[in-house]
Chains A and B, each alone.
Chain A
Amino acid sequence: MWSLIQIELYKIFRRPRTYIAFGAIAALIVVIQLGLKIDGDAYAGFLMKDINDTLTVDGKVLNGYLICYILLQLLLVHVPLLVALIAADMISGEANLGTLRLLFSTPFSRTHWVLAKFIAASIYTILLLIWLAFLALFVSMWIFGTDDLFLMKSNYVVLIEQGDVLWRYVGAFVFASFSLLTVTSLGFLMSSLSSNSIGPIVGTMSAIVFFTILSTLNIPLFNVVKPYLFTTHMNNWKEFFDIKVNLNNEAIRGSILNIPKIKTSLMVLTLHIILFVTASVIIIKKKDILS
């Protein structure tokens, strides 16, 4: 099995397409960091307009931690599309190329190959996320320095102490890995259904966009299905950055406001991953390889 994973990783990282996603993430992050470095105060001023009516905020608000949060908010919507570029091509790409029959006529079962491919795609996804974390968090910390994380949410503001932030990012990235692995498994499922590359990639991207729209629209009809959509749960990494307060309205260091919400989301995402991968294995096992 390990040799199959090695083979799949080898193929992934020998393809130029693989590096598009790494390049795209780097370009996006650098552009945003540059913009915020040059004109970040105006952006922060805009966000803090309401707060400044009442309070003055003293300190380095636009620090590496906040920049990372802003970057994740923006990018974790788009990274799934980059993940789809590889994941949705894992099986169908080879079917299209004609190499799938070479793999499936080796002395390893299709289940082995499908799982090896999924694991390889997952490793790619995690590496992409680590790359994102490195650029968004550590490079931002290096460029902008660190301070408390001053988060402006829709209805309230959360001020998290500097020493209480990093573990939340670790949690958020672990959570995000589940989100992205759900996308990987969806792309994988699409990939198992087709014998051409473009269809599953476009299909996965369309599904993500479609479900994301359903998840974000506040229409009663859609609210019924929202809890079951993986896209609803994908953004709940933000829950790591909401903090409990005691009766005196003092934030409790090291606390998370809504742990059950995180657990539920992780469970829903995991179920999706299991469902999508199992379906992929069953489809591929039953499929006649005609390509």
Chain B
Amino acid sequence: MFGVFCYYYSMAVIKVENISKHFGTLKAVDDLSFEVQAGQVFGFLGQNGSGKSTTIRMLLSLIHPSSGNIELFGKSIQKNRDSILEQVGAIIERPDLYPYLSATEHLQLFAKVRKQKIEASSITSTLEKVGLAHRAKDKVQTFSLGMKQRLGIAIALVHNPSLIILDEPTNGLDPQGIADIRALIQHLAKEEGKTVFVSSHLLSEIEQVAHQILIIHQGKKMVEGVTKELLDPEKRIVQIKTTNDELALASIRTGSFGKYILARKEGIHLKLPTLEIALLNESLVKAGIAVLGIETKNSLEDYFLQITSNA
């Protein structure tokens, strides 16, 4: 209900402000901020080890942030953990389950930790939803990785949460399984009005379902935007290298090209209509900044691969 309330009032279901997490000298997440609106499918992209799971664990209060604030449903997760998690369903990384329990027993077990009573029929329908009804009574130790993944999703859904956090939900699934999960995510958002936060290391998996995409690398936000815009074929991603990137960035920000900035890494990355590339070059030259090169990317995929491939 609270999720629906948030939706109508356009509140952010997830609001992350400047969170960082250090493990010794390692910065797993570095000053990350983003918002997820109610009813959205939010794609959280990054390579393995980029800080996705650490961020998700912080959202679920499994990891304490070194700094920054996290709000879910408009409340601080630190202060209102229990009431918030009542409305959240999640799978985190691998689908680790109890090998000696069956699929039904898993759902019965996790249904018990919810305040509202969960009917047996709801357990059955959840298993049907993830395509596991035929193996309901089999022990998990006989399950394939894909089946475990489906059961993990079922556990996340069994209590009908408003916010569903799925960390790499298609890991271990075959192409049909991936398509099924994709359809399920779309169904959850469109038909049931749920907010879905889904992480992946593959853009191709996310781009078809996510309204919004955030790409992180080495714990830092690289790109955030509406999927449609990021994938707009009319716009090109360009990487500009200048003699003074800091000055160039300041100049772009103050001008009309500021809205196209994607990231600052080995130059400046922008996504802008093809026709405006020449205008951008011209404005920089006018500002007295020597442009060393402008490289255009063919797709978001290329861009994603580039920023995440070389650290």
Q: Which A residues form the contact surface with B (CB < 8 A)?
A: 3-4, 6-7, 10-11, 14-16, 97-99, 101-109, 286, 288-290
Contacts and interface: CB of A to CB of B under 8 A. Distances in A.
Nearest to A15: B100
Interface in B88-118: 88, 90, 92-94, 96-98, 100-101, 105, 109-110, 112-115
A7 B112 contact: yes
A288 B64 contact: yes
A10 B88 contact: no
Nearest to A104: B62
Interface residues of B, number: 30
A97 B90 CA distance: 17
Given A7-B113, A288-B62, A101 B81 contact: no
B85 interface: yes
Nearest to A113: B113
Contacts of A7: 109, 112-113
B155 A14 contact: no
Contacts of B120: none
B113 A107 contact: yes
A97 B140 CA distance: 13
22 contacts: A3-B112, A3-B113, A4-B113, A11-B101, A11-B109, A14-B98, A97-B98, A98-B93, A101-B62, A101-B96, A102-B97, A102-B155, A104-B61, A105-B60, A105-B92, A106-B85, A106-B110, A106-B113, A107-B86, A107-B114, A289-B57, A290-B57
Given A107-B115, A289-B62, A14 B100 contact: yes
Give the interface centre of A3, A101, A104, A109 by most chain B CB atoms within 10 Å: A101
A11 to B, nearest CB: 7
Give the interface centre of A10, A99, A102, A104 by most chain B CB atoms within 10 Å: A102
Contacts of B86: 107
A4 B100 CA distance: 18
B266 interface: no
Contacts, number: 73
Contact of A288 (B63, B81, B101, B110): B63
A6 B110 CA distance: 12
A14 B110 contact: no
A15 B100 CA distance: 7
Contacts of A16: 100
A195 to B, nearest CB: 12
Contacts of B191: none
Nearest to B165: A105
Give the interface centre of A4, A109, A288 by most chain B CB atoms within 10 Å: A288
A282 to B, nearest CB: 14
B98 A11 contact: yes
Contacts of B100: 14-16
B234 interface: no
B113 A101 contact: no
B82 interface: yes
B83 interface: yes
Interface string B60-82: 11111000000000000000011
Q: Which 8 A-B pairs have the closest CB atoms?
A: A98-B96, A289-B62, A107-B85, A107-B86, A105-B60, A106-B113, A288-B63, A107-B82
Interface string B243-270: 0000000000000000000000000000
B82 A10 contact: no
A53 B259 CA distance: 105
A97 B96 contact: yes
Nearest to B115: A107
